[in-house]
Amino acid sequence: MTMDTAALFKNTWLPLESTFYKVALYILEDEADARDAVQDLYVKLWNRKEIDRNILNPKAFGITILKNICLDRLRKARSTSTLDEAGPAGSPEETDGPVIGKETLEKVGAALGSLPEKMRELLEMRVFRGMPYWKISRETGMSEVNVRVHISKARKLLRKYMENERY
């Protein structure tokens, strides 16, 4: 990397570390795994031949890559636990691991789709864009307390939906 590219990396990507960490922590629900996922993100960004200067929204771009890193970690953890429980190699349970991960992702997508539009929009602003409550409040015209209540209700509805879809 050239000095210019290193400065671009330092000025563009490093200030987003806390946002990336919050997203990873929300997805992985483990501090150490979240830190590792953010570190993996930075390694991926650093190892790119040339950081694209035309990325209009580095935060969204980074969150997208980070989300995929986190989902890969969750899939890997799930398939490892499935393999541990499966018994001998080649058993049917062993081959079901990746399918279970795909089904779970589909359920999460369906759960998000089942939310009322306003709740889904607020949850996406908070979780995927990492926006603070005050900024969401300003952008939507809702009070900060109302934003918090809607996001809390959205999370509860997601949990309830996911619990009902387990079996």
Residues 96 and 132: their CA atoms lie apart, in Å, by 39
CA count, 13 A, side-chain hemisphere, 140: 25
pLDDT computed for residue 93 by the predictor: 45
Per-residue confidence (pLDDT) for residue 49, from 0 to 100: 55
One domain, residues 103 and 59: no
Q: Please give the pLDDT value at position 92.
A: 43
Same-domain check for residues 30 and 110: no
- Domain enclosing residue 142, as ranges: 98-167
Domain count, the chain: 2
Q: What span, in angstroms and rounded, lies between the C-alpha atoms of 41 and 6?
A: 16
Domain end point (choices 39, 63, 95): 95
Predicted confidence at residue 156, as pLDDT, reads 87
Q: Are residues 90 and 61 in the same domain?
A: yes
Query: Are 113 and 142 within one domain?
Result: yes
pLDDT at 88: 47
Tell which residue, 160, 97, 150, 104, has the closest CA to residue 127.
Answer: 150
Q: Are residues 103 and 76 in the same domain?
A: no
User: What is the structure's pLDDT at 108?
Assistant: 73
**Two tokens, residue 62:** 């980074």
Q: What is the mean pLDDT of each run of 10 residues along the chain (167 residues)?
A: 72 90 88 91 78 78 91 82 50 45 69 85 85 90 91 86 67
SS3 132: coil
pTM of the predicted model over 0.85: no
Do residue 70 and residue 38 come from a single domain?
yes
Q: Can you give the CATH number for the domain in which 111 is found?
A: 1.10.10.10
Report which residue type is found at 81. S
